Structure 1
Amino acid sequence: MEPSEELRHVVRRFFDAVHDGDEEAVSRRFSRQPGYERFGSDPAEWWQDGDAATRVWLQQMRELDGGFPWTLVGDVHAMTEGTVGWAGLRAEWTTPTGPKGFRFSCVLHLEHGEWKIVHCHGSVPSSNEEHGFLLTTSVDDIADSVTSSRPDLSATSAPDGTVTIAFTDIEDSTRLNGFLGDERWVEVLRAHNDVLRDATSEFGGTVVKNQGDGFMLAFPSARSAIRCALAIEGGIEERFRDPGSPVRVRIGLHVGEAIREADDFFGHAVAYAARVASSATGGEIVVSSLVHELVGTTREFRFGPPRTVALKGMAGSHRVYPVEAPATA
């Protein structure tokens, strides 16, 4: 799998054609081959015939004064593997009741040298809670859960009662799930989780909580936690070796006193570690300034230039340090 600039432009031109009411360009982009499928937000919007689905799409454009009143939010994300490609985007619709968010994804196949849509799905996002599900969507959710349950971390603490916490997740996992489909996504999660668990065990850590692609790990020393984080990134790179693989893990570390100051640990340190992780980009390890102070004098690790960031729910600005590699590498 690799990013495709060509496919990104194809889907962007399709998006613009739908907006501008260019019926010929829109019609030409859809496949008429067996296996076509389109889903929409309305329960009745499900077609398995490319010709019929295209006629409905064009009619919907006419009913919307010649084109969909949508505006692209961000950019199109597109990937290819051989003759198959997929893309996703977010948009904003102008409706009589105000602007609404919209998400669109599609699968395309090369037919006689031209990219054709063989599957597409458009939907208006709604929260899991609206449908009665309380599901984890971020490392912040894991942090909130751990703060409430307060697991016993005494077995993972250093002699002075401190615990180094690591939060990890896959960058853009929700969008990646949509691109890969549920079956491929489960395979990715299984391989990803194996790497996380094996590395954590190897470096003496504990998996405190795992939900989806998010993990909270605990270690008795900051050095062990960083070594584990480096092993995780190396393991992920090895496991997903395809050029341009979109599976990229971000990791953040912080340290706190879990035994003597349990209230502050679960009330602040856990949340702080989650926020530090959220400041990382895919494939990056970042540590808090406190972790950097603990290991900086050992010269065991090499750090990139520090950066000052705002952390959600934390007053002021905060300094984090990206870990580049072991100093001996």
Structure 2
Amino acid sequence: MHKDEGLRHVVEDWFAAVAHGDARYLDTHMSSDPDLCLVGSDPEEMLHGKAAHDFMKREAMAMKDMCSISIKDCEAYSDGDYGWAFAMPEIELLPDHKTVTPRWSGVFHRENGDWKLVQLHSSFGIANDQMLGEEVSRKLH
């Protein structure tokens, strides 16, 4: 396992493509395998295969010129033809300038020399005491 700067650039460019509505970039770096998996922050965002592929493309096209994205942190690693990455994108939604910072991770597989996303997970951190209640949270620590 080693840090992979090339894969890190793929991830950073992924977010730039989303901000610009460039679904073609996603096609280049998203697997068409039926086992492609998307787990998003919305309870309904657990999609596989073509449904996941189509959703991510529609989302990218819908975001065109509606946000700006900067990456607060991004790390990528690989081992052979498998790679994984973690990012903390800061997304500013326009025109009201609301900012959100989801946690993002992806698993990639090298197909014909290109890194292809095979699994994506995006979520928003919620404190344990808010999610589980203070009593349970205290027992966990």
TM-score range, shorter chain: 0.7 to 0.9
Q: What is the TM-score normalised by the length of structure 2?
A: 0.84
- In 2, Cα distance between equivalents of 1:97 and 1:72: 13
Which 5+ residue runs of structure 2 have no aligned equivalent?
Answer: none
- In 2, Cα distance between equivalents of 1:76 and 1:135: 31
Shift in alpha-carbon separation, 1:67–1:43, aligned structure 2, 3 A: farther
Shift in alpha-carbon separation, 1:99–1:82, aligned structure 2, 3 A: same
Query: Structure 1 segments of 4 or more deviating over 4 A?
Result: none
Q: Secondary structure at the match of 2:126?
A: coil
Code of the residue aligned with 1:69 in structure 2: it is: C
- In 2, Cα distance between equivalents of 1:35 and 1:119: 8
The corresponding residue for 1:77 is 75
Q: How does 1:169-318 map to 2 (within 5 A)?
A: none
Residue deviations 1:114-136, cap 9 Å, x none? 11000001112221111115279
Q: What is the TM-score normalised by the length of structure 1?
A: 0.38
The corresponding residue for 2:90 is 92
Which 5+ residue runs of structure 1 have no aligned equivalent?
Answer: 142-329
The corresponding residue for 1:134 is 137
Bigger relative contact order, structure 1 or 2, given CA contacts below 8 A and separation 6+? 2
Q: 1:45 aligned to 2:14?
A: no
Between structure 1 and structure 2, the one with the greater Rg is: 1
Residue deviations 1:185-228, cap 9 Å, x none? xxxxxxxxxxxxxxxxxxxxxxxxxxxxxxxxxxxxxxxxxxxx
> Which structure carries more helix by proportion?
1
- In 2, Cα distance between equivalents of 1:109 and 1:74: 24
Code of the residue aligned with 1:77 in structure 2: it is: E
- In 2, Cα distance between equivalents of 1:131 and 1:26: 33
- In 2, Cα distance between equivalents of 1:82 and 1:135: 42
Contact 1:70 1:91 in 2 (8 A): no
Shift in alpha-carbon separation, 1:70–1:129, aligned structure 2, 3 A: farther
Code of the residue aligned with 2:12 in structure 1: it is: R
Code of the residue aligned with 2:131 in structure 1: it is: H
The corresponding residue for 1:324 is none
Taking only the aligned residue pairs, the percentage that are identical comes to 29
> Which structure carries more strand by proportion?
2
Contact 1:38 1:47 in 2 (8 A): yes
Residue deviations 1:29-77, cap 9 Å, x none? 110113211100001001111x22121122223333x156242233320
